[in-house]
Amino acid sequence: MAIERIYMDWNATAPLLDEARAAMMAALMLSGNPSSVHSEGRSARSLVEKSRRQVAALVGASAQNVVFTSCATEAANTVLSPRYKMGRSVLSFGTLYVSAIEHPAVRMGGRFERVVEIPVLKTGILDLAALEMLLADHPAEHGLPMVAVMLANNETGVIQPVADVAALVHAKGGVLVVDAVQAAGRMPVDIEALDADFLIISAHKLGGPKGVGALIARGEMLMPEPLIRGGGQEKGHRGGTENLCAIAGFGAASEYAINDLINRNLRIRTLRDQMEAGMRNAAEDLVIHGEVAERIGNTTFFTLPGLKAETGQIAFDLEGVALSAGAACSSGKVGQSHVLTAMGLDAGVGGLRISIGPATTQADVDAVVRVFAKIAARRQHSGQAA
Ligand code: PLP
């Protein structure tokens, strides 16, 4: 008999919501190109604009400042540009400062040649004093500084002090880009309250389809040189006919996400906390990374001494539990987690990440705790788990 699967890898990707699927099916029935002026085209356009409003509402932005892209990685590569336009003037950025725990989509630096890492503390929180020093030494003759910091880390879930970062960056006349991919839908996100200049988000982390993201600007004046040029779509910020079906799914998922956000995430956090308590009960030496910091409520990144991440991942998989060893984007090869390294932790055996979502049940977390206890006990008996 096949074992029932328990999906605990929502930070890698969230299962498609029924609401998103329905919106996508309806969008598939539309035949027009959103840029066409005839009735068919206008119907498609109206769906794109509806989705734009839904996505904007998720992060407290104006719909006119949302640019749809093919994924958050594309949004990052668009926004991380040394060349910007502000009205008719051209603005140059000399150095990109990125936190050491950024997702590779941002950490690779987009179109910048000079990328400097901002260290994080042992807690997994960005070192604000170090950022202040880096900005004080910023060579002004190279152009303005640009800083990219994520709101919630994809591995630890640790929430970053974005508004404090914004104050430092703006005092230097710089621009702040915030990767809100893991935060959107999992905590309130408001571009104004964060004081961010740009946000990037991705549909598939909130129950929308894979392969659609957005670059969201706070105002409409300052925009990067486009990465993809073409027929002037997205007000010239991203060429190419819009992926209508995916954009419709993104809009529906965003609307679902803001609806009852607080209560839904409270329920998820309660399950996660119960799960962590159960795991610790089964293995006192369990280390939960970023535990002392504020975290999004769905994520547990842990190390069990003596259990290698790859071995643990396979052991959980054999018991029917899907989780990941660190970030999933380069899945297949489990490398050293750059997040743990940045936190100054000896990541010798690596870490395992459990991430849950709205469909996770009490029975799921109870089962995961039982599997965890079994794996932990085996490890204690043999010194190394199965
Ligand atoms: N940023 C973070 C924090 C992520 O977790 C991910 C995906 O895992 C991305 C960016 C990239 O998103 P996408 O898959 O839409 O390119």
pLDDT in tens, 156-167: 999 999 999 999
CA 63 from centroid of its chain's CA atoms: 20
Question: Catalytic: which of 3, 193, 318, 329?
Answer: 329
Place of tokens 């392969």: 211
pLDDT in tens, 187-222: 999 999 999 999 999 999 999 999 999 999 999 999
Place of tokens 């999906």: 7
Length of the chain in residues, anyone?
386
- Sequence letter at residue 72: A
Residues near ligand 1 (Cβ within 6 A): 71-73, 103, 105, 150, 154, 179, 181-182, 202, 213, 329
Residue 177's SS3 state is strand
For a substitution probing ligand 1, which of 71, 74, 204, 205 has the most ligand atoms within 8 Å of its CB?
205
**What's residue 386's pLDDT?**
43
Measured CA angle at 305 (ends 300, 308), to 5 deg = 80
pLDDT in tens, 144-192: 999 999 999 999 999 999 999 999 999 999 999 999 999 999 999 999 9
Distance 130 CA to ligand 1 centre (A): 26
Mean pLDDT of the chain: 94
**What's residue 28's pLDDT?**
97
pTM score, whole prediction: 0.96
pLDDT grade for 326, boundaries at 50, 70 and 90 = low
Q: Look up residue 170 and give its two tokens.
A: 């703006």
pLDDT in tens, 272-322: 999 999 999 999 999 999 999 999 999 999 999 989 999 999 999 999 999
pLDDT in tens, 43-65: 999 999 999 999 999 999 999 99
Question: Rounded to whole angstroms, how far apart are CA atoms 14 and 152?
Answer: 16
Q: How many CB atoms lie within 10 A of CB 359?
A: 13
Distance 250 CA to ligand 1 centre (A): 15
Residue 132 has pLDDT above 60, yes or no: yes
For a substitution probing ligand 1, which of 77, 160, 181 has the most ligand atoms within 8 Å of its CB?
181
pLDDT in tens, 80-126: 999 999 988 999 999 999 999 999 999 999 999 999 999 999 999 99
CA distances from 295 to 100, 302, 345 (A): 17, 13, 18
CA distances from 218 to 35, 195, 196 (A): 25, 9, 7
Cβ contacts of 58 within 8 Å, gap of 6 or more: 184, 185, 189, 201, 206, 254, 255, 257, 258
**What's residue 4's pLDDT?**
87
Residue 144 near residue 94, CB atoms below 8 Å:
yes
Residue 142 has pLDDT above 70, yes or no: yes
Of 270, 32, 75, 305, nearest to 181 (Cα)? Answer: 75
pLDDT grade for 3, boundaries at 50, 70 and 90 = confident
Report which of residues 274 and 379 the model is more confident about.
274
Identify the structural domains of the chain with CATH numbers, from first to last.
6-15+261-381 (3.90.1150.10), 20-258 (3.40.640.10)
pLDDT in tens, 302-315: 999 989 999 999 99
**What's residue 70's pLDDT?**
98
Which residue's CA is minimally distant from atom 13 of ligand 1?
72
Residue 288 host element (H or E): strand 287-288
Closest atom of ligand 1 to CA, residue 212: 15
Closest atom of ligand 1 to CA, residue 75: 16
**What's residue 331's pLDDT?**
47
Residue 140 has pLDDT above 90, yes or no: no
Distance 105 CA to ligand 1 centre (A): 7
Distance 340 CA to ligand 1 centre (A): 18
Of 89, 93, 55, nearest to 75 (Cα)? Answer: 55
Q: What are the residues facing 66 on neighbouring strands?
A: 216
pLDDT in tens, 342-369: 999 865 778 999 999 999 999 999 999 9
Distance 264 CA to ligand 1 centre (A): 22
pLDDT grade for 379, boundaries at 50, 70 and 90 = confident
Is 245 designated active site? no
Residue 31 has pLDDT above 80, yes or no: yes
